[in-house]
Amino acid sequence: MAIKSVYDMCKQAEQVIETLSAEQVVAMKDDPNVEIVDIRDIREIWRDGGVPNAYHVPRGMLEFWIDPNGPYPKERFQSGKKFIFMCAGGLRSALAGLAAHNMGLAPVAHMAGGFAAWKKAGGPVEEVKPKE
């Protein structure tokens, strides 16, 4: 069996989940029914900055935090809000969005182009430093 490329996996994910442009997400950033979920590694956020009020979820914990009956459920994922996943460039967020969708979380979307596109679209960025 041939290895499937991550790009193919992301294209498949985008056939299932909604893909939003950074401009669309910037316009939705203050909507109380929308939750922007930043799945970048915390070191990326420290280095590059974060989206104000985004919910940081380490990618490796996403499924555990979504599952209300799992070992580490986060009530935030039971809010009924629209969850928009973002990463640095738009690949991890497509895969995360599909995983969340497959778990039954709805509605979900991902932001094409990731944090780089967010900054290019004029989205606000805040400095985030490690806690001492």
Distance CA 65, CA 123 (A): 27
50 domain-assigned:
yes
Q: Which domain holds residue 101?
A: 16-120
By three-state DSSP, how is residue 84 classified?
Answer: strand
**Domain count along the chain:** 1
The yes-or-no verdict on residue 131 having pLDDT over 90 is no
Q: Is residue 11 a part of any domain in this protein?
A: no
CATH number for the domain harbouring residue 42: 3.40.250.10
2 domain residue, yes or no: no
- Paired tokens of 46: 């420290």
Q: What is the pLDDT of residues 16-44, one digit of tens each?
A: 999 999 999 999 999 999 999 999 999 99
pTM confidence score: 0.94
Residue 125 lies in a domain: no
* Separation between Cα atoms, residue 55 and residue 74, nearest integer Å: 11
Look at strands 82-86 and 55-56 and give their pairing: unpaired
> Which letter does DSSP use for residue 91 in this model?
S
Q: Is the pLDDT of residue 132 over 80?
A: no
